[in-house]
Chain A
Amino acid sequence: MSDHQAASNQQVMSDHQGEGKKGFTSRWGVIATLVGLAMGTGNIWRFPREVALNGGGAFILAWTVMLMLVAVPLSIAEMIIGRSTRHGVPGAFKDFVGKKFTGMGIFMTLTVVGIGSYYTVVMAWILRYVILSVTQKLYTFSDKAALFDNVSNNSWLTVGCFVFAAVLTAFICAGGVGKSIEKVQKFCVPLSLVLLLILIIRAVTLPNAVIGLDYLFKIEPEYLFNSQTWIKALVQILWSVGVGWGLVISYGVSMHAKSDLALNSFIQGFSDNATSIMAGMAILPVLFSMFPVDQAMDICNSGNNGLTFISLAGIFDKMPGGKLIAVIFFIVLFISGLLSNLGHFLVGSLPFIDAGWSRKKACALICCLFLVWGLPSALNIRFLENQDFVSGTFLVLGILFTCFAITKNGAENMRAKFINIPENDIHIGKWWNYLVKFIIPVVCVVMLIWNTKNLLTGENPMDIFAVESLGTLLFQLAIYAAVAILLTKTVNKHTTHKYYNGETYPDIPKEHAE
């Protein structure tokens, strides 16, 4: 770089950083946001099912190990990338890894926008159940499976709720991280924790609740030595904590240069797991109290929707105080969905803000994108299930990209310059280098091979129109990759400001100061 260019870049940096440094306004705000980001519907409706089906306490042990081996190191890695580059995911990859690799960031952004679009549909379903439980119309339908079928397929009322959920999320996101998202998280996270506590108290005081608690906590030794338990624990932790998606990169953009990165990552991971255990204590005792053990296990096998919208919805009016509990349950679920979806919106909008768009304009565009992309999912659950399946695999690629980014810059170099800075209370040892460079990538590759092997044994593995097949996966992978490659030049051209200096965290630039 010539002296003139360097001086010019320096000028751009100082111009942009001059009015910056606001971002998050309190440490509690950062913590609430990270907890809210991690505390999604996956904790409430996925974790209790998985834990009951995979050996209870044995699954919790495997899942805790995965938290420390995979989720926390990845969260630290993402925070480094976001905070040192001060860009959304594509711009972050451009500056952190190199212009040739911007496509990796675009790929991750597309994946998260895809997830957010159908996640907003799930929020719409939950909203409909909030209304049904508040108005008590939920109890006028004797066949809850038919009710859910009605809600999730070709219902314009669901489409209306979908539009409302997308606009609500966009409205909050458009207010900025410090001014709006942080305030919402600071209010909603404690509220949903209190509501979850009420659910736990009701659940554990039901007759035979201990059977559910036994299924949650009892350690079944044979599951502890079963590879399936560990793989499922890993999948659960990735979905639940939300690492490898670029969410933490995007929130990292608004974190102050001297904030305690390692402490924030540990809090994000452990509070996610603690919330999941709380959700398990709120749901499994209810299930095992109201159904015989065999039937309760069948319900756990029936998937997230079967558990939440059919089985639980069908028993609320049969338990003492159940109608109030139903309202609280669906409100907690909606709040959790909203808090997670704010992150999806942020990931989608930041690249446009990096390109000079106003935050409001960027959020309006992402809202439109969510509505267009999510509409088929709102009208047909099979489309949603397909998108859910595809995104799950693409997230693993996101993790590999994150590990590659750190490795290319030198894990030891990153640890010395960006993690173990004087401001950090928690010192991170060399174990982090080995995890990010070797262990996590190997685990991801093993997962991809295992997944491919399972898909090859299925019926019509290359059918691109199947809900779950290798064909649909490869077909959509090709589309995502092509879009990422096509957009690389445009993103490189429009993301003009460079804050990354490879040595220290820059201050928050003015475009991300809100």
Chain B
Amino acid sequence: MTRLVVRDLRKRYGGIAALAGIALEIERPGIYGLIGPNGAGKTTLFDIIAGGIAPDSGEVLLDGRSVTGLPSHRMAALGVARTFQECRILLEETCLDNLLFAAQRKDFVATLGQFLSRSQAARRAQRAEAMRLLQLVRLEDYAEVPAANLSFGQRRLLEIVSTFITAPSLFLLDEPASGVNPALLETLSDFIRTMYAERPSVFFLVEHNMEFIMSLAGDIIVMHQGAVLERGTPQAVQASPRVVEAYLG
């Protein structure tokens, strides 16, 4: 089980405080939503948790262990996986290869060891799993097609499923609904629920699309001006006057 603790995180960019001492805790599996007006600091928080950017001060703890400022590849090895707002996949590779890349070992020494042991069984298992996930998002016909040939919505699904194949314990999705055709949103929602059902862990979504996130998440965290403003069920948060004011004011 993954316990994520964020303690008093601060981050300034030039004169602007993106994070002003934000603190939060997530201690059980679930689908969590992170919302807030533009400039609230949501992506900065994600970037710091996922690794690669160090905060000016404060801590991030994963299962009690400090992971503040670790590079993103170390965070990935610890089970933190993320998608990107702009949707990042390997465009020149086929859908299947995208998944195989995501699934394969990345540790340098381990990849060298590949030449010594030819484990065909493991490879076949990985391939089968990749195909199963492609079927889950209905992209199995595109297995051998370069990702560049996919529509944006399909790329988004590919990205999410590539992240999922790594079996993360903390799954960070940065605006998964952004840029996706409204007709596909319900499908996307269903897939996230299916994936969660298959392997319940912490799914942490940043979203601007209220309808999408409110129907998906069980626990909503509202950020404003670099800190947590409000937290609760979708109903509670939507009814909160402070939240409404933050968005309008």
Whether both chains belong to one complex is answered with: no
